[in-house]
Amino acid sequence: MVLACLFSFGVQAEGFTLKDAGGQIHRLSDYRGKWVLVNFWATWCPPCVEEIPDLVSLYEARKGRDMMVIGIAMDDQDRKTVLEFAETMFITYPVVLGDPKIASQIGVVRGLPTTYLYDPCGKLATYRVGALTRQSVERFIRQAKSCNAGSRPEAANVPGSLRTGR
Does pTM surpass 0.85?
A: no
Q: Where are the alpha helices (DSSP H) in the chain?
A: 46-62, 79-88, 100-106, 134-143
* Mean predicted lDDT score pLDDT of the chain: 85
- Find, among 113, 109, 112, 143, the residue nearest to 125 by Cα: 143
**Within a 10 A sphere around the Cβ of 23, how many other Cβ atoms?**
6
Distance in angstroms (rounded) separating the CA atoms of residues 78 and 59: 25
Q: What is the CATH number of domain 17-143?
A: 3.40.30.10
Which phi and psi (to 5°) does residue 20 adopt? -80, 175
CA torsion 66-59-24-113 (nearest 10°) is 120
What's the pLDDT at 146?
A: 57
> What pLDDT band is residue 76 in, cutting at 50, 70 and 90?
confident
pLDDT, one tens digit per residue, over 33-71 is 999 999 999 999 999 999 999 999 999 999 999 999 999
Distance in angstroms (rounded) separating the CA atoms of residues 46 and 85: 13
Task: Please state the domain extents for the chain.
Answer: 17-143
